[in-house]
């Protein structure tokens, strides 16, 4: 007898301030801030959500437990569900829970997709939220297009009514570089009135930053302005993306305004953005002051010294070329290099990082039967 199952088992552009600078400030600025050059040749897939949110490992562990359980059934469970769908029978929660923990291939996903549509058609009260479960399954099997198509289907509005499903789908598309589709997910979420979480703001601003178009800039600033008007908490990471996007769009004034909304700007991202803003606004002397303070401060041995991106320093050097502060810029950059406070990580590298999540608690050995029992 089948029982119900729950949710289981800038590369270095040039040597700074070299005698002959052939590249214009505008040209270098484009290289620093344009995503195509920043990401050229990189293959790493960077997520904006932590494992605490995606919970892929937890999902896979539960799949293993369910797999152990369904092996004792007569016949292949997915085939049994497929036959049930062909007979146009209703799909119940217990069936769907087991099915979504049993799929291993694209063919299996066809059955799962048909099953969730059948379930959504015949169920008006969803006691269990299946949205995140289906999206995590898509995540595991690399079915981001299926996830995007399903979650944006108006007929599945009630099935996907939680922020987690939208956030994971957006993160999936972000890692694949499908930024247009990721933005469509954000727009759908907004249109349906699904409440934005802190993770949503990070994903939305990050996606707009990657797109780097006038339209994505308008959407990003509109989301920030609306959230501020409602006193909603906006993460520092989201603000940082918005600042970088404003700089890409050459809106230094807006970038400064957004930057000053960040409560703590002592991070590497914050300090690099600040120097970049000052360089672009022509305030070279103040930029030198910030760099000098970071170099001269007596940092404790257990505290990592501030690091500045080579690309940001290159732009500052070029901006100060033939100006009154050129020698000061050369000197402080040389000192930073000698102190190992210059990094080849790009600003994009710093912005597109995967949060570490919460520290994992020591794992306690559990029996499979106990795991299954907890979710049936």
The pLDDT score that the predictor gives to residue 22 is 40
Phi, psi of 283 (to 5 degrees): -90, 65
pLDDT at 200 over 80: yes
Cα 305–chain centre separation:
26
Residues making up the chain, counted from first to last: 376
The pLDDT score that the predictor gives to residue 372 is 47
Q: What is the pLDDT of residues 143-193, one digit of tens each?
A: 999 999 999 999 999 999 999 999 999 999 999 999 999 999 999 999 999
- How far is the CA of 15 from the CAs of 11, 21, 106, 228, in angstroms? 11, 10, 50, 41
Q: What is the pLDDT of residues 7-66, one digit of tens each?
A: 332 233 234 444 333 445 555 665 666 543 334 334 445 789 999 999 999 999 999 888
Other Cβ atoms within 10 Å of 15 Cβ, number: 11
The pLDDT score that the predictor gives to residue 45 is 59
Q: What distance in Å separates the CA atoms of residue 10 and residue 32, rounded to the nearest whole number?
A: 6
Other Cβ atoms within 10 Å of 306 Cβ, number: 20
């Amino acid at each position: 007898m089948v029982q119900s199952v729950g949710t289981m088992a800038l590369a270095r552009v040039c040597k700074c301030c070299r005698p002959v600078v052939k590249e214009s400030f505008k040209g270098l600025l484009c290289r620093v801030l344009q995503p195509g050059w920043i990401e050229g040749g990189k293959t790493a897939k960077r997520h904006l959500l932590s494992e605490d949110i995606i919970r892929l490992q937890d999902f896979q562990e539960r799949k293993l437990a369910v797999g152990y359980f369904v092996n004792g059934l007569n016949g292949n469970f997915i085939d049994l569900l497929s036959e049930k769908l062909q007979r146009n029978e209703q799909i119940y929660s217990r069936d769907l829970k087991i099915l979504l923990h049993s799929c291993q291939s694209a063919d299996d996903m066809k059955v799962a997709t048909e099953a969730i549509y059948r379930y959504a058609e015949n169920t008006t009260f969803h006691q269990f939220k299946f949205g995140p479960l289906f999206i995590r399954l898509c995540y595991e099997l690399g079915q981001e297009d299926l996830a995007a198509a399903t979650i944006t289907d108006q007929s599945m509005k009630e099935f996907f009514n939680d922020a987690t499903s939208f956030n994971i789908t957006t993160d999936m598309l972000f890692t694949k570089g499908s930024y247009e589709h990721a933005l469509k997910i954000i727009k759908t979420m907004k249109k349906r009135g699904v409440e934005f979480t802190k993770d949503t703001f990070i994903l939305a601003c990050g996606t707009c930053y990657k797109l780097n178009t006038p339209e994505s800039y308008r959407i990003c600033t509109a989301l920030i302005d609306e959230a501020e008007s409602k006193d909603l908490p906006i993460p520092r990471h989201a603000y940082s993306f918005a600042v970088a996007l404003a700089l890409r769009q050459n809106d230094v004034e807006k970038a400064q305004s957004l930057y000053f909304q960040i409560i703590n700007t002592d991070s590497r991202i914050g300090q690099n953005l600040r120097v970049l803003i000052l360089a672009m606004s022509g305030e070279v002397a103040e930029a030198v002051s910030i760099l000098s303070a970071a170099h001269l401060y007596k940092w404790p041995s257990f505290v990592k010294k501030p690091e500045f991106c080579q690309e940001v320093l290159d732009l500052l050097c070029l901006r100060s070329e033939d100006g009154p502060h050129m020698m000061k810029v050369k000197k402080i950059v040389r000192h930073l290099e000698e102190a190992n406070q210059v990094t080849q990580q790009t600003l994009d590298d710093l912005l597109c990082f995967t949060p570490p999540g919460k520290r994992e608690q020591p794992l306690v050995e559990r029996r499979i039967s106990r795991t299954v029992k907890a979710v049936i």
